[in-house]
Structure 1
Amino acid sequence: MKNKLNIYCKYFLVSGITATIISCSNTKFLKEGQMLYTGAEVEIESDSLSKKEKSELESAIKENLTPKPNSSFLGLRPKLYAYNATKEPKKEKGLRYWLKYKFGEEPVLLGDVDREFNKDIIVNYSENKGYFNAKAKYDTVSKNKKAKVIYTLNPGGRYLISNVNFPADSSEINKEIQVLKERTRLKAGNPFDLDVIKAERQRIDDGLKDRGFYYFNPDNIIVQADSTVSKKKNDVELIVKLKDNTPQLAKEQFTIDKVIVFPNYNLRDVKRGKYSVPMNPDSLKGYEYNDIYVVDPQKKFKPRVFDRALYFEKGDLYNRKDHNLSLNRLISLGVFKFVKNDFVVSDSLNHKFDAYYILTPRELQSLRLEALGRTNSANYAGSELNLNWTQRNFFHGAEQFKASVYGAFDVQIGGPADAENIFRAGANAQLSIPRIVAPFRFNSSSAFVPRTNIKLGYEFQNRTTLYTLNTFNASFGYQWKENVRKEHELNVIDVSLIRPADVTPKFDSLAFNNPYLQRITDRQLIFGPTYSYTYSTTMLPRKNTFYYKGMLDLAGNITGLVTGANVKEGKEKNIFGIPFSQYAKIENDVRFYHKFTEKTSLATRLIAGVAVPYGNSKYIPFARQFFVGGSNSIRAFRARTLGPGSYDPRTDTSTRAIFDQAGDVKLEMNAEYRANLFKFLNVAAFVDAGNIWLINDEFDDNGKNLRPGGKFSKEFLSEIAVGAGVGLRLDFSILILRLDLAMPLRVPYYEKGDRWAFDRINFGDSGWRRDNLILNIAIGYPF
């Protein structure tokens, strides 16, 4: 241990010396009189501002200053060094060109800094925040061919809003503005802030757009500041009113006259002069359906599709909320490639619109063949072939029908010699209907169309010399979104039937007196409702975003209650001669993302789940249990080889290479730091931790515990596995290729008190590297 400590100290010493050399060597490339610009500092001279107010003002000002200094990492400037140290390339390609002009950064010099311009920016920004008497100056500090600029700001007193006045008159638009002023963002006592004023103008515009004023825009509002009204120093009155030159059209409220839909619009018809906007609907070959005029000569779409999607009706007052809602629902149908909306004045005296919806369909049918190769951390390599057919207007009501057939194989390429190859083949079909099919009425004002999903599937799985499983599944349920952040999925019924075939004597001998293995080839019938809820803000442009998905699976609960099933009392009940599964399962997936900069972020995840058998089941079906390990889980352990608890899978040499380790309780935590090196090349450093456990111990006929240490207990924290590693992500836009290299730091099946593996790390030992360095190759991010 002492020797290793000495080696690490040498590594740190060498790294420190190297960093110092790189840091200093950038300045040697400068010409005589040049200085490297290292950035700006902003100092606030004010006794009236708090530390927090000073800090916020300083950081905001620094964001607006130009230019930015060369990027740095831990005080070093590797990109600048790459530019300086690389000789001028002879041609615009190759490694030298990439290092100098793609990865490298040209030096930012003090001569590039317009200090007077930055001083004006500081004063203007301060005035926009209410510091009307702001004054600024600057000073330059240089040393060893490096220079920084120190800007000093004396903001003076900040002006506060003394009163907000919305002058009234008799016009219709002013009456609406008087209603809107009740929720103004301009409050007496708050500081003057130009950004808040702009937001208030936008708020008024949004409110008027929802009240029929289609042609209005925020520039029609003027906010005047008057500091002469109040007797108090640094007080200002705001007057919010329409500009005198506001166009008359912007002051008028419009209603909807006709709603006209072109569901089969294409550019070729436009070029032929078939369609133009505005147009006379009476001259087109269309028909009327519930006040909607549909121009669809070929009748590709049933008109009720548009009746459900469009929120405007004849005589409605125009509002932008329904405008956007209608467009979003048309897009979410998934059948139209382009969706365009035009409002054309049909009667200027009565202020009426004709609303045109011009829709260009996607290709209604597509056939796609996919071939892929794959490997996983369990030493399997294989290939898969998928043939997918999609029909996006199956019953002429924007129903999407998808059917696929596939075949795949996975072959063991390393690890234990007794591992089995796996062959799979199957077919799936899904019909997605853009409405809720139910005996009750379901109204949704969401921008997303609710869907009814019907699924059928079959899979054939063969483990060469062991057994074959035939799996049939079917489900019927609903999917709907409240908004862009909240999504629900309820399967009213979700059925799986698993039937074994061709169970070989080899497997029988392995499973003899082993109930855990026997359950794999038991006939299984699993049915019941499932529900999932997803909440996500990851699509929003925020510094901190959040993702949550919760899942509830209730199998056989009502049937078990009705039949009085109780396997512990010998009252096991069958359906069609097959014992049905009865359990309750819940799983929670929580993720938090923090963005440090545009190119660096921290991603974290917590997964917690439990599945409890009861009634007609003593154990959770193998297909519904939890697993850990692999490229999207705890990456320092091979897929599905970890757990349960402190159980050591290496002790059972007859089955460890064949069967996955499964559990009823799951706890997993992940943290990953992500950074961009260059365009498509990203790096990551990560730590994963977690494990799975059993609810009940499993014994053979002789009373022997089949997986000792696997049961969940108060000792569960001491059985947490920990792994860490680094990775590369190659972002090619259409896909992200991920390579993660991980090693275990804590192994739960080692002796208690000796589970941390730091003292076992030995990169120089090929045997240690083979057993402990796990390379995960995957597509996409792990979370």
Structure 2
Amino acid sequence: MISNHKQQPSNMKRHLPYILLLAFILNACSNTKYLPNNQKLYLGATVKVTDKNISKKDAKAVVSELSDLTRPKPNASILGLRVKLYLYNISKGKKNFISRFINKWGEPPVLWSTVDVDNNATILQSRLQNEGYFHAMITPDSVIKNKTAKAVYNTVTGPPFKIKSITFPTDSDSLDTAVAGISKKSLLRVGDKYNFDVIKNERLRIDARLKEEGFYYFSPEDILIQVDSTNAGPYQVNLYEIVKQETPDKAWDIYTMNKTYIYPRYSLKDTAAKLDSAIHYNDYYVIDPKNTIHPYVFQNVIALHPNEPYNRTHHNQALSRFIDIGPYKYVKNRFDISPKDTLKLDAFYYLTPYPKKSLRFETLLRTTSANYNGTQVNVSWRNRNAFKGAELLTVTLMGSTDVQFGGQNNGYNVYQTGIQTSLTWPRFISPLNINTNNGYLPRTRLQLEYDLTRRLKLYTLNSFSASWAYLWKQDVHISHELNLFGFTYTNAADITKEYQDSIIHTRNPSLKHVIDNQLTFGPSYSYTYTNTTEDYKQNTYYYNSKIGLSGNILGLVSGADTLRGKAKSIFGTNYSQYVKVENEFRFYHKLNANTKFANRIIVGVGLPYGNSTIMPYSQQFFIGGANSLRGFRARSVGPGSYFPDATITNGSGFIPDESGDIKIEATTEYRPKLFSIVYGVIFLDAGNVWLLNSNGSQPGGAFTRKFLNDMAVDAGLGLRFDLTVLVLRTDLGFPLRKPWLPDGQRWVINQINFADGGWRSNNLVFNLAIGYPF
């Protein structure tokens, strides 16, 4: 008995958090006590279908659809608790900072007095009638209990009316014949339920199709779809598509194209037609007295050609391409009936250019996940029409510094500077002739770059690169990039004695690999599919696949084989020979307008062979950091279960970057909107990198069938501030699984202790970044 009494305080202490949580929940449920006098809290609407004339499946669909139409919506709830309403109530009217902050998360009560049940009933009944339930009746009611109220809409649908027959125009004139000719793809089908929205969309379909066949002046209002239920039979309707007799005369005619005029330097002050100064090129005329651009630039832009029927798709394609070409900010156009032929159209395009030259200065303050604080400055100069061929010439100067004021890399500051020059043509500069047949022009890009990276007290790296690439969009979702030739050369300079001693002391090949001279050259190809811009969809996707090659043909021809002592070099440097494949898949699921799940999987493999036994450092995979595993510092994980701390460089404090030939990474995020411009996130990351071939200096670093046992896992939360021009992101992550620990000890969830300063110092990683991680 005495022993039991002594345990009671301990049990009470253990259960105290649950008691407090229960007290908070019960208190949060009492939102009605904050209501004004004689007011009731609106709890939402219920739609009840009492009609037995429709199936259970149709009744369920009716309930779901009508429930979404009721207004207003009640206060949001989670498991029946209206937490946002509670936060509003407890902070309402208080002026201290904490209360004002809490109030931003809350929402005011939705009162029963704001609900117009009769108007809602009218809207619901109208919707049902538009969907073929012509006999539908909605009777509103309410359920009032104490200080709460619910709306109830008793619904009798009656049997749905279905389409018995559809009659299309039968006259022989061109417009009636055209409407009848496209009837096979009609949205209306015999046997379907009558639906007014489908009828409206059918009129839009007819208009869109006729616009492809030259009926420039036709409009959806020129089609009448009559509904007859008197001669169709019980709960059936006959539909008749008719071209209105009052349709304007011009809408009955097919128009073909005549001449196309382009004004490349238009402003609102220009009023003169200047047709006498037009330069004829191919199928169009360019009116450019100041000779600002070569006429041939527009040959892939204009899709409407003389004597061809007007086509709205080609019309819109030209508008998109005029913007996509680069130098032009606005484009407007008009079509006029030709003065010489009343069934021909003249097209006029008026282009307003950007300023030809511009200078941009950018500065960025940043904190990296490797505990570096730094600044970056970019100065970019661009010429949008460098050689009068709509070429985009860009020259960018970059300088950055990253300093660590505490931690293992204190004093090993990183300084970078570089220059990048690129020239992009809005067409293919090659024998290739790919016609994308959409609003996007193919492009050719030449890029040259030099970067200098200095890691204080360790080494300096010089990097030179060049590439020649073709870029094109197959359609709005699919894009391609073919880097026909890419060249990169990296050499190390000013290697300090400290770094050289570290290589000798640790015999860590990754340390030497960083400063090895590297030469890569070869093609690469990238394929991307995405529909993530279509925000109206519940599920959206992104997929990118890339393959890169280096030294393949030369290595095969020369018989390069490093393992057999036949390493080949160019200008004294062994060139890299490899095949590298990368795949990234993203999946976004929208829970509602303000909340979504975001998921990403990355798998990459580099295969060195012939003249190489390991991937060049610049082409290896890294993991950890602000856009990767956010509970681990940048480039600090792997390869595999290897951990460098025990063999760190001869008493020095710097931590080498860890890399691998294989990478697997997965991330999932829950992204709710909190308030205003602030969004939250809860994330879970997992992944690692591995070496393709084992080496004695990095035990556990090679990829094996037990690779899942090497996965690092972290979790965390963060905030995103959507500032329109950019998104500022903060993430706080911590590890859940450390792959370098002994088997059976790698999961460290039970060690999480936010109250312990030592744990926080060794495990919490703060990431500050611009933009979403994916």
**TM-score using structure 2 length:** 0.95
Letter in 1 for 2:698: R
Structure 1 position 115, deviation (Å): 1.0
**In the alignment, does 2:518 pair up with 1:524?**
yes
Letter in 1 for 2:562: V
Structure 1 position 656, deviation (Å): 7.8
Match of 1:702 in 2: none
1:333 to 302, 310, 325: 325
Seen in structure 2, the aligned counterparts of structure 1 residues 204 and 13 have a Cα distance that, compared at 3 Å, is farther
Q: Deviations over 1:121-175 (max 9, x none)?
A: 1211111111111122232112231111121212111122111110210211111
Structure 1 range deviating more: 409-418 or 565-574: 409-418
Match of 2:6 in 1: none
Matched position secondary structure for 1:627: coil
User: For the Cα contact (< 8 Å) 2:188–2:202, is it kept in 1?
Assistant: yes
Match of 1:70 in 2: 75
User: For the Cα contact (< 8 Å) 1:420–1:658, is it kept in 2?
Assistant: no
Match of 1:213 in 2: 215
Match of 2:437 in 1: 445
Match of 2:749 in 1: 758
Structure 1 position 673, deviation (Å): 0.7
Distance 2:108 2:478 in 1: 46
Q: Deviations over 1:717-763 (max 9, x none)?
A: 11111111111111111111111111111111111122111211112
Superposition pairs of residues 160-559 of structure 1, within 5 angstroms:
160-231=162-233, 233-267=234-268, 269-270=269-270, 274-275=271-272, 279=273, 281-282=275-276, 285-347=277-339, 350-416=342-408, 420-512=412-504, 513-540=507-534, 541-559=536-554
**In the alignment, does 2:50 pair up with 1:45?**
yes
Distance 2:453 2:326 in 1: 33
1:686 to 667, 672, 683: 683
For structure 2, the residue ranges without an aligned partner over 5 or more in a row are 1-8
Letter in 2 for 1:195: D
Structure 1 position 104, deviation (Å): 4.3
Distance 1:745 1:476 in 2: 44
2:596 to 590, 594, 601: 601
Seen in structure 2, the aligned counterparts of structure 1 residues 710 and 592 have a Cα distance that, compared at 3 Å, is same
Superposition pairs of residues 101-116 of structure 1, within 5 angstroms:
104-116=106-118
Structure 1 range deviating more: 62-71 or 176-185: 62-71
User: For the Cα contact (< 8 Å) 1:387–1:406, is it kept in 2?
Assistant: yes
Letter in 1 for 2:682: A
Matched position secondary structure for 2:134: coil
Seen in structure 2, the aligned counterparts of structure 1 residues 730 and 6 have a Cα distance that, compared at 3 Å, is farther
Distance 1:263 1:298 in 2: 10
Match of 1:19 in 2: 25
**In the alignment, does 2:60 pair up with 1:55?**
yes
Q: Deviations over 1:617-662 (max 9, x none)?
A: 1001111111111111111111110111111232222278332110
Distance 1:781 1:314 in 2: 48
**In the alignment, does 2:609 pair up with 1:614?**
yes
**TM-score using structure 1 length:** 0.94
Seen in structure 2, the aligned counterparts of structure 1 residues 392 and 14 have a Cα distance that, compared at 3 Å, is same
Distance 1:718 1:515 in 2: 24
User: For the Cα contact (< 8 Å) 1:419–1:658, is it kept in 2?
Assistant: no
Matched position secondary structure for 2:454: strand
Structure 1 position 764, deviation (Å): 1.6
Structure 1 position 42, deviation (Å): 1.1
Structure 1 range deviating more: 714-723 or 390-399: 714-723
Seen in structure 2, the aligned counterparts of structure 1 residues 419 and 511 have a Cα distance that, compared at 3 Å, is farther
Structure 1 position 419, deviation (Å): 5.7
Letter in 1 for 2:579: A
State the identity as a percent.
Answer: 42
Matched position secondary structure for 1:350: strand
Match of 1:782 in 2: 773
Q: Deviations over 1:683-703 (max 9, x none)?
A: 1111111111111112xxxxx
Matched position secondary structure for 1:130: coil
Distance 2:105 2:371 in 1: 36
Match of 1:701 in 2: none
Matched position secondary structure for 1:204: helix
Structure 1 position 553, deviation (Å): 0.8
**In the alignment, does 2:111 pair up with 1:117?**
no
Match of 2:648 in 1: 653
User: For the Cα contact (< 8 Å) 2:169–2:179, is it kept in 1?
Assistant: no
Matched position secondary structure for 1:455: strand
For structure 1, the residue ranges without an aligned partner over 5 or more in a row are 699-704
Distance 2:10 2:312 in 1: 68
Seen in structure 2, the aligned counterparts of structure 1 residues 460 and 257 have a Cα distance that, compared at 3 Å, is same
Q: How many residues align?
A: 761
User: For the Cα contact (< 8 Å) 1:682–1:730, is it kept in 2?
Assistant: yes
User: For the Cα contact (< 8 Å) 2:408–2:655, is it kept in 1?
Assistant: no
Matched position secondary structure for 1:150: strand
Structure 1 position 111, deviation (Å): 1.6
Match of 2:693 in 1: 696
Structure 1 position 89, deviation (Å): 7.5
Letter in 2 for 1:659: P
Matched position secondary structure for 1:351: strand
Q: Deviations over 1:103-131 (max 9, x none)?
A: 54332211211111111112111111111
1:586 to 574, 578, 581: 581
Match of 1:770 in 2: 761
Distance 2:408 2:93 in 1: 53
User: For the Cα contact (< 8 Å) 1:634–1:688, is it kept in 2?
Assistant: yes
Matched position secondary structure for 2:762: helix
Structure 1 range deviating more: 44-53 or 750-759: 44-53
Structure 1 position 316, deviation (Å): 2.1
User: For the Cα contact (< 8 Å) 2:411–2:456, is it kept in 1?
Assistant: no
Letter in 1 for 2:257: I
Distance 2:645 2:510 in 1: 16
Distance 2:454 2:227 in 1: 78
User: For the Cα contact (< 8 Å) 2:560–2:611, is it kept in 1?
Assistant: yes
Letter in 2 for 1:188: V
Distance 1:668 1:446 in 2: 35
Structure 1 position 96, deviation (Å): 6.6
Seen in structure 2, the aligned counterparts of structure 1 residues 12 and 778 have a Cα distance that, compared at 3 Å, is farther
User: For the Cα contact (< 8 Å) 1:547–1:590, is it kept in 2?
Assistant: yes
Distance 1:5 1:204 in 2: 75
User: For the Cα contact (< 8 Å) 2:274–2:287, is it kept in 1?
Assistant: no
Structure 1 position 40, deviation (Å): 0.5
Q: Deviations over 1:190-245 (max 9, x none)?
A: 111122212211111100111111222212212122223334x2222211121232
Distance 2:10 2:379 in 1: 55
2:715 to 724, 728, 735: 724
Distance 1:249 1:143 in 2: 64
Q: Deviations over 1:269-322 (max 9, x none)?
A: 24xxx44xxx4623xx33222232211111111101122211112222111000
